[in-house]
Every structure is written in structure tokens, then in C-alpha cells.
Amino acid sequence: MRTQLSCLGCLRSALTIGLQLVGFLAFPVSAQRALVLRRVPLRAGLATAVYNQPLGLAVSSNGRVAMVSDVAMGKHEGKLLQILSPTADTMISVGRRGNGPGELSGGPDIPFASGDTFNVYVPARLTVVMYSDAGRYLGERRLEGSGSTIPLAMRGDSIDYLELKPSRQLVAAPPPMRGKIGGREGRPLLSGSDTMFRRLQVQRGAGGNFEQLRPFAFTKSLTAVADPIAYRVGIYTADGKALYYLRRDLAPKRRTPAEVSELRKSLQSLLDGDKRNTDLSRKLRTRLDTLEREAIAHFDRSGLGFDAKGRLWVIGEIGEKTFADVFDAGRFLGRQLLPCAHPARRIALQGRWLALDCETPGRVEAPFELQLYAIPDR
């Protein structure tokens, strides 16, 4: 098992990351000292209080965690944005359901974090609702876009986003854009001449559609975009120029027999209900024959993040656990396994904190559990 680094920059870029790069260099896992994430104990009653599965998480620079979900608990009932302190001694609930200032829709509202501020994107109103991580309402701003505008990240007035398009109208997936919240259309974030990004733009998923949403992370000076199936990550400058690529040489990830069985039932149901659409039926039958051999993603689109020291973390699933891989300027520092099952897109990393919302299927009364980890400074 190796980690590889490919340089697309000049000698100056190589010196910047402290390596002499010629082609590919390999870094054995054992040659690096892994960082160890420290789990922060959370009071059980609050760690499992959010019964409805949230679409996303956000963690502030102070380690407070936000999620959008109903909580049927006394004073928290009817408020949709839940903010938990690092020790979970308190949970603040704000953002009632509605269309007024500071209110949320109760639909697919997604929280983002920028410093100590939570920005909640409300697609029903094309609005970003802002709260401090102490629960104070800070105002809201309207996005200039359409219902297909999907934010990827927010920092201050800056927003990175996608304009999703119907797959049948595409010849390539749209590029991520960067602009100002409330401003006019932004600029493409990555260079169209980059070979890895061009390949991602024309890559199709198992169902034949373009993969428009990719794992994504950024700092003020760096952007990371990944191919999660091949476990390859491109690192780019703020103006979209490629610096280097990261790659783990891992065996392709496949579905478990139980996952194959569940997906087969779903696809067979679609096939049984759409016999007149011969093109779709043909694609479904072909896919049913290849489910066991399909390579799937090592990590989801929330599985990339830069910490306070600029190190890149890759978070994904392996069996019933979560892996956390960390890289520092191209050096692989190691992998840690965390006792968290199937966090999927419910992953948040900012500064010195990593938050996960984990499935606990054996606990019917509390099927999800929040976990919080402190990232060491060294």
C-alpha cells in the first residue's frame, strides 16, 4: 500500500512543499508518524438527541456543531437549527420553520461554517441565513442564482458553488464556480486545461449520468477536488492552477453482499415499472449484471477538509468504521480508524475539529450519534 505524489508545478513549487519531485514518489505508511485524533466526550442525552437524520453538519472554529433537524424535546421543539457545544453540556435551538427573517424551510436546508458563524443555505428561498455559533441571528443574504444552485463552501462573503444541469443536456459536468454571496455569476474555480479535472468532467457514474458533485475542500490559497473512486486528489492554487496530485494505491472498493442485494431490489423495481422505456430498461438490465463488479467511492463528497495547519484530511467508510487519512504538503502522515458507522455526507471539518454523525442501527430509540474529535496542532 503506497501513497504517491505527482508534481505539475515547477522547481519552485517542489521546494515549497519540501520535496524534490521527479515523476512519482512513494511514501510508505510506516515511514510517517500518524496524527491521533482525540475524541471529545459528549453527554449521551444530547449526543443522540437529534433523531431525524440531518442532511449535513457544520463545525465552527470553536468546536460547536450545527445540524438542521427537528428535535422533539421541550424547549427545542419546533426549532430546526441545533447547535451543540464542544462538551455537549448545552444545545441551542434556533431557526423556526417559516419564510420570515431567520426562519428555515424544514426541507433540504444545509449548514456551512465560516469561523464562528453558521451559514444555512435555504434552497426554497435561495437565501443564506446566518447565525453565530452561540445562536445569535446575524441576518440573511439572498443568492443570485436558480433552484439548481448548489453551494459547496462559504467563507465570509465568498461562495463556491455548482449550477447543476439536467444530465441529458450535458456534454461535460459543469465546473465549480467562485463568487460573492448576493453578487453576480462567479468565475470558474479550476483551469479547464488541467488533465485530471477534464477527465472528471466527462466521467459518468454507474447509472450513465455525469457525476456533477465531487468531493471538494478549500482554504484561502488552496482548493482540493477528488476522484473518490480512484482515490486521487488534485491540489490547486486559488487561481485554479494545479500544484500536485495525491493518490493512494488501494484495491477497488466494492459493495458488500447486503448492499448489492438492496440495490438490486431497487433497480429491479425501476425496471418492472418502466418496461416501455427500452433505453432505460436496457441500461438497468446491463447494470444488474455488473453490480458485484462495480467500483464504488472510498469517500463521499463531504470527505475532504483542510485543518488549521493546512493539512488535508480524507474521511471515508471502511466496513462499519470510518477512516481518517491525513496529508501534509503531499506527505502521507497515516490513517486512523474511528468507531463511526456510515457517516456518508454527515461529515464536517474546520480548524481543529472533526464532527461525524454516525448510524447506530441497533438503537431504535436513537439511530444516530454525534461524535466530535479534536485535531492536534503538531
pLDDT at 11: 25
**CA of residue 261 relative to chain centroid, distance:** 26
What are the pLDDT digits (tens) for 190-203?
876 778 887 887 77
What are the pLDDT digits (tens) for 81-114?
989 887 667 888 899 888 889 998 877 788 999 9
207 pLDDT band (50/70/90 cuts)? Answer: low
Q: In the predicted model, is pLDDT for residue 296 greater than 60? A: yes
Q: In the predicted model, is pLDDT for residue 209 greater than 80? A: no
Q: How many residues are there in the chain? A: 378
Residue 265 parent element (H or E): helix 257-273
The span from the CA of 215 to the CA of 76, in Å, is 33
**What order of strands is seen across the sheet that includes strand 216-218?**
24-28, 2-7, 242-248, 232-237, 222-227, 216-218
pTM assigned to the model = 0.84
What are the pLDDT digits (tens) for 22-74?
233 334 433 345 689 999 988 766 666 655 667 678 999 999 999 888 765 55
253 pLDDT band (50/70/90 cuts)? Answer: very high
Top-confidence residue, 236 or 363: 236
The span from the CA of 159 to the CA of 135, in Å, is 22
What are the pLDDT digits (tens) for 346-358?
899 999 999 999 9
Instruction: Give the residue among 68, 62, 162, 55 at the shortest CA–CA distance from 120.
Output: 68
Q: In the predicted model, is pLDDT for residue 208 greater than 90? A: no
Q: Is 8 exposed, middle or buried (0-12, 13-18, 19+ CB in 10 A)?
A: middle
Beta bridge partners of 6: 24, 245
pLDDT at 109: 82
245 Cβ contact list (under 8 Å, min separation 6): 5, 6, 8, 196, 232, 233, 234, 235
What are the pLDDT digits (tens) for 175-190?
888 888 877 778 888 8
